[in-house]
A and B are shown apart, each in its own frame.
Chain A
Amino acid sequence: MDPSNLRPPASGAEMAAFLVFAAMALAGAGATVLAKNPIRSAVGLFFHVLALAGLYLTLSAHFLAVVQLIVYAGAVVVLFVFVIMILGPGADTVRDRRGVVARAISLLALIAIGAILVPQVGYLERVLPARPTEYGTLWQIGHHLFNRAVLPFELVSVLLVIAMIGAMGIARGPRKRAPKDTAGQPPRARGDLPPGRLIAPIDPRLSTRDATVVAEPKAEGTHTPENHS
């Protein structure tokens, strides 16, 4: 094999990069799980994602590092922040002691799993193969993706379209049907919702309240079947 095809021997800089990014990933993950405020969790997730992109770089996965930044830091974390902002104070949950036993048991079980698992993988030793020049490049990933993984690639595009439509359908909620007795009136504009409420309720009690709001104009003398009866 052509020796120029191999990279120079590893230096201590790699270990330093690994340690820095690993500490950042752990801190980010800890902040995500422990933060009381969901927006701080999102910031922790953001730093975790940045650190993982750095770890991918130490593993010569350049393309994946960029994808990680674009998809996670650019889309997923921003989506989380959007939802937290939409919910406002509703995104916070009060802490109480319900289910504290079950949660303690699950934490203990996880610690036990970790105590078994982590030393096991710690013994795994492999010789690091020399890195070919083109390993992890966009060309190689694309070549592999479109020669050996075309079908999953296309299926993922179908999945993303379905998820997009499904997310829109779920987040939009059930469509509000216009009451029949307002047929003669001009349709209400979308932005014409009663003040103080951004999201249409589907809770039955709230819907009842909303119906009275909608029915108010008919008391002003418009002739509807209900008025005659």
Chain B
Amino acid sequence: VSPQLSHYLILSGILFLIGAAGFLMRRNALVALMSIELMLNAVNLTLVAFNRWQPAQQISSAATEAGQRRLDAARETARDEDHAAEQVEGPAGPDRETEVARHHAAAEAARAEAATVSHETQQMIPHHGQIFAFFVIAVAAAEAAVGLAIVLSLYRVRKSVRTDDADLLKG
């Protein structure tokens, strides 16, 4: 047996609820911030899990690492062979013609290989969910930095990190 999508969703639902409960129940501002991190992490887990269960699509082989390597190698070979065809030395004659023709043929073969790679397709799961989770992590880091700065500044005014004591705007 391997874990199913529902396992991950149930787990992240419970984690989110634990985080929400911590945010609502605890009155230590530091623990409240940590609870927000718990909730963000739970959401990230759903994003990554849904991404894994997203159906694969046909994409161009050039959009994969292996395909890109083949494409680069083929293009480089074509360039080198073209260059070599221009640089063939020796007296003019049938020998030289054959050598030039051989380089041109190799360059053509490499170009054909490059065209094949860019027309090939292959199965790939898109990475939207993981990219989204990546951005969520970045925003969560920014949020933690600013939130902790606010807690420090609250402590300086009130000598306490209780959320009840943050009532400076109370009329």
Contact = CB atoms under 8 A, between A and B. Distances in A.
Contacts, number: 273
A18 B141 contact: no
Given A113-B17, A129-B54, A121 B148 contact: no
A71 B56 contact: no
B141 A160 contact: yes
Contacts of A124: 5-6, 9
A56 to B, nearest CB: 6
B137 A26 contact: no
Contacts of A170: 146, 149-150, 152-153
Given A90-B160, A131-B125, A122 B130 contact: no
A202 B66 CA distance: 60
A167 B148 contact: yes
Nearest to A13: B2
A130 B155 CA distance: 52
B116 interface: no
B10 interface: yes
Interface in A1-45: 1-2, 5, 10-12, 14-15, 18, 22, 25-26, 29-30, 32-33, 35, 38, 41-42, 45
Closest 5 CB pairs of A and B: A33-B22, A10-B2, A163-B142, A121-B9, A171-B149
A10 B123 CA distance: 19
| Majority DSSP secondary structure for residues of B touching A | helix
B21 A107 contact: yes
A110 interface: yes
Given A79-B148, A136-B130, A149-B131, A122 B18 contact: no
A136 B126 CA distance: 9
A152 B128 CA distance: 13
A1 B128 CA distance: 23
B3 A110 contact: no
Interface residues of B, number: 85
Given A110-B21, A173-B153, 17 more contacts: A5-B123, A32-B31, A33-B18, A33-B22, A33-B26, A33-B38, A35-B31, A41-B34, A63-B134, A76-B140, A103-B25, A107-B24, A130-B56, A135-B127, A136-B127, A170-B152, A199-B156
A171 B2 contact: no
Interface in A102-120: 103, 106-107, 110-111, 113-114, 117-118
Interface of A: 1-2, 5, 10-12, 14-15, 18, 22, 25-26, 29-30, 32-33, 35, 38, 41-42, 45, 48-49, 52, 55-56, 58-61, 63-64, 67-68, 71-72, 75-76, 79-80, 83-84, 86-87, 90-93, 98-99, 103, 106-107, 110-111, 113-114, 117-118, 121-126, 128-137, 139-141, 143-145, 148-149, 152, 156, 159-160, 162-164, 166-171, 173, 199-203
Interface stretch (B43-51, B89-97, B106-114): B43-51
Contacts of B10: 118, 121-122
Interface of B: 1-11, 13-15, 17-22, 24-28, 30-31, 33-35, 37-38, 41, 44-45, 48-49, 51-56, 63-66, 68, 122-128, 130-131, 133-135, 137-146, 148-153, 155-162, 164
